Structure 1
Amino acid sequence: MEVILKEDVANLGHRGDVVKVADGYGRNFLLPRKLALQATAANKAVIDQMKSAAARRSATEKVQAEQLLAQLEPVVLTFTRKSGESGHLFGSVTSADIAAELATKGFDIDRRKITLADAIKSLGNHEVSIRLHREVTAHVKVKVNGDANDEAAAATEAVQAPAETSAE
């Protein structure tokens, strides 16, 4: 089945491309989600208009993405999570957490644009890529700190333990 893509689809093509896909993928995924049109003679006549409109839209989106990139570069996101003694987190920091933190700072970024190989599961500084446009990728610094209550409890236990042994 040949389809004309209305949106960029990962590992398939960009907006306005005519691609050949499996019948089931086209009928059950692309067409119902309005990601593509069936490539009929009438739709192929419209493809040139779609490509020119897509090129203009892509150009404006790229300019907006570059402006957003300039705003995102100095941003440092800080998360406080409970962690074990070795620095491993009880849980993780996911792309949804990063998107929510960016939203609190005034950036409306979809969590699917945030690329993490795996969820962040350790304390320290990490760098996360955000794909703003197919040609523009921002890198945001993420700092994961241990919970202050865990550190305070560990420090209190360390102080109390020697005091008890000396009293005996």
Structure 2
Amino acid sequence: MKLILTTEVSGLGAPGDVVEVKDGYGRNYLIPRSFAIRWTRGAESQIASIKKARDAREIRDLGTAKEVAGQLGALKVKLKTKAGDSGRLFGSVTTGDIADAVKAAGGPLLDRRRIEIGNPIKSTGSHKVSVKLHPEVSATLDVEVLAN
């Protein structure tokens, strides 16, 4: 089955890429979750607009990615959220919360889809978060979660 990716799928490709996948994977997973659309000659015109939007969000080159990684390494991100007396959060910290906290701390604007949280953050304290800036550059960000 030939599909056009609309969002980044790890191990498969980036938005705007035309990929060939097995029928069941495309029909039962990618298309229902809006990760991809069916490839047609008419849909091929959408590839240009998808790639244009991706380029606007994406960090352009390797040098810029390394520079942003340096900025993130030196940044102190503090995130205040509701927590109980034992330090357990009411809910968890999301990638969107982290992206907003980085922006509030004076850091660069990050796409929440580039932020990878290993284990869900459900307690106060210091946590390490990975940010994939470029296919070759990944940065580690220290996030301090405080009780509000």
Query: Normalising by structure 2, what TM-score?
Result: 0.65
Equivalence for 2:129: 128
Residue 76 (structure 1) shift: 1.5
Quick check: which has more Rg, 1 or 2? 1
Aligned residues of 2:116 and 2:132 also touching (Cα < 8 A): yes
Worse overlay, 127-136 or 103-112: 103-112
Shift of 1:17: 8.1
Is the 1:95–1:119 Cα contact (8 Å) retained in structure 2?
no
Relative to the length of structure 1, the TM-score reads 0.58
Q: Any conservation in 2 of the 1:81–1:145 contact (CA below 8 Å)?
A: yes
Unaligned runs of 5+ residues in structure 1 are: 38-57, 148-168
> Which string of whole-angstrom CA distances, capped at 9 and with x for unpartnered residues, describes residues 133-155 of structure 1?
111111110111223xxxxxxxx
Say yes or no: does 1:90 pair with 2:90: yes
Cα distance in 1 for partners of 2:87, 2:62 equals 39
| CA deviation after TM superposition for structure 1 residue 119, in Å | 3.2
- Give the whole-Å Cα distance in 2 for the aligned partners of 1:5 and 1:114: 19
Cα pair 2:130 2:138 within 8 Å, conserved: yes
- Relative to its length, the structure with more helix (as a share) is 1
Which deviations, in whole Å up to 9, do the C-alpha atoms of 1:32-90 show, x marking residues without a partner? 7xxx96xxxxxxxxxxxxxxxxxxxx9x5222111111111111111222322221112
Which residues in structure 2 correspond to 1:34-73 (within 5 Å)?
61-73=61-73
| Whole-angstrom CA distance in 2 between matches of 1:129 and 1:142 | 10
- After superposition, the Cα gap between the structure-2 partners of 1:91 and 1:66, relative to the gap in structure 1 and judged at 3 Å, is same
Instruction: Give unpaired runs (5+ residues) of structure 2.
Output: 45-57
Give the Cα–Cα distance (whole angstroms) in 2 for the partners of residues 5 and 90 of structure 1: 35
Match of 1:100 in 2: 100
Q: How far did 1:103 drift?
A: 2.1
Larger relative contact order, structure 1 or 2 (CA cutoff 8 Å, min sep 6): 2
Superposed CA RMSD: 3.5
User: 1:23-42 maps to which residues of 2 (within 5 A)?
Assistant: 25=26, 29-31=36-38
* Cα gap change, 1:30 to 1:136, in 2 (>3 Å): farther
Q: Match of 1:158? A: none
- Sequence identity of aligned pairs in percent? 40
